[in-house]
Amino acid sequence: MAPDAPAKKSFVARLKRGLFMTHTELIARVGDAIRSKVAPDPRALDALEEALLTADVGPATAAELVAAVREELGRREVSEADSVRRVLKGEIERRLSLPAPPAAAPPPGMPRVVLMVGVNGTGKTTTAAKLAARAIGSGQVALLAAADTFRAAAIEQLEVWAGRLGVPVVKHRPGADPAAVVHDACSAAKARRADVLYVDTAGRLHTKHNLMEELAKIRRVAAREVPGAPHEVLLVLDAVTGMNGLAQAREFLKSAGVTGLVLTKMDGTAKGGVILAIVRELKLPVRYVGVGETAEDLLDFDPKAFADALLDD
């Protein structure tokens, strides 16, 4: 067994706990997907497609997954639900295995700047703090920027998380210019020779053009202070919102230059399949999933482990 096998098993176990509600909804239908050894039962496959839609994989993806199952079952006599799970797991893993775009590297001695974007309530603030804690845990120097100045509570929340995790924060008073916070945070990161700076931005409603312009200003200021910044833009989506997350993702992709996704609150929804719909349409890789409240519950995304957690009996 490989040295990292215990850690891998722990990861899969936590992911399975987080996906329990989505898993339960799907797995109950898989066993009924075959009613005949001669051909798949159309009613059972309809039920499977309905379960996939309930998990918010999206109509197009649900139809494609069921078509793959129908093709497999029509090719030979099969009566085991394991065959359905095997086909679905393989298809889900394949669809989610998008390579991350080449990461822009900052010049030597400069910090990597990561913007956290998304609407209010998705978990951007806690995700930024958790990522900074992970960076520090791996021996890096990390800073946080409290650039959500529209809400005093957001600054306080970031400070509480940062204090708990031992991560320094650059902040201004509530109502200050968010771009000024980013300017000072970049300067502080350079002065401290930080490896990475995580910027928590305001929860910008995707229908508000002026707020998207504010985000564009933050990007320009970061680029002036650190060549190539932002080097990564992570869109944080709440899994509970389901397909509404797709509309958010479209707008942020156009306005914010999103390079990857973070899906949070996977432990409280039956709609975890929304990842498939977003990845299918936007071709954005999922970088992290949140399956709980602690820093350890923010997991690197693994397509195979995700498919296993959804469909293992």
Structure token digits, residue 70: 């129908």
Instruction: Grade residue 16 by pLDDT with cuts at 50, 70 and 90.
Output: confident
**With 0-12 CB in 10 A as exposed, 13-18 as middle and 19+ as buried, what is 285?**
middle
Prior bond of 230 cis (ω within 30°): yes
User: How far apart are the C-alpha atoms of 277 and 60, rounded to whole Å?
Assistant: 8
Range picked from 18-27, 221-230, 249-258, 293-302 for highest mean pLDDT? 221-230
Report which of 253, 197, 266 is spatially closest to residue 230, judged by C-alpha positions: 197
**With 0-12 CB in 10 A as exposed, 13-18 as middle and 19+ as buried, what is 107?**
exposed
C-beta neighbour count of 256 within 10 angstroms? 23
The overall average pLDDT reported for the chain is: 83
Instruction: Grade residue 32 by pLDDT with cuts at 50, 70 and 90.
Output: low
Residue 86 has pLDDT above 70, yes or no: yes
For residue range 215-249, what is the model confidence (pLDDT) as tens digits? 889 999 999 999 999 999 999 988 777 677 677 77
For the chain, give the percent of residues with pLDDT over 90: 38
DSSP 123-172: SHHHHHHHHHHHHHHTT--EEEEE--TT-HHHHHHHHHHHHHHT--EE--
User: How far apart are the C-alpha atoms of 176 and 191, rounded to whole Å?
Assistant: 22
User: How far apart are the C-alpha atoms of 306 and 15, rounded to whole Å?
Assistant: 7
Range picked from 11-25, 57-71, 171-185, 296-310 for highest mean pLDDT? 171-185
Range picked from 90-94, 208-212, 253-257, 262-266 for highest mean pLDDT? 90-94
Q: How confident is the model at residue 242, as a pLDDT?
A: 66
∠ CA 235-307-239, nearest 5°, is 35
| Crossing angle of the two packed helices 20-30 and 5-18, in degrees rounded to 10 | 80
- Of 27-41, 78-92, 134-148, 160-174, which range is least confident? 27-41
Q: How confident is the model at residue 43, as a pLDDT?
A: 74
User: How far apart are the C-alpha atoms of 248 and 118, rounded to whole Å?
Assistant: 8
Residue 226 near residue 143 (C-beta atoms within 8 A) = no
Please, which residues bridge with residue 108 across strands?
none
Q: What domains does the chain contain, in order, with CATH numbers?
A: 5-96 (1.20.120.140), 112-302 (3.40.50.300)
Report which of 34, 296, 245 is spatially closest to residue 122, judged by C-alpha positions: 245
173-200 b/e (C-beta count within 10 Å ≥ 16 → b): eeebebbebbbbbbebbbeeebbbbbbb
Q: Which pTM was predicted? A: 0.86
Single-letter code of the amino acid located at 237: L
Please, which residues bridge with residue 263 across strands?
237, 289
Classified as helix, coil or strand, 82 is helix
For residue range 165-216, what is the model confidence (pLDDT) as tens digits? 889 999 999 999 999 999 999 999 999 999 999 999 987 665 566 777 888 8
**With 0-12 CB in 10 A as exposed, 13-18 as middle and 19+ as buried, what is 257?**
middle
Residue with tokens 């690197």: 300
Residue 262 has pLDDT above 90, yes or no: yes
Classified as helix, coil or strand, 188 is helix
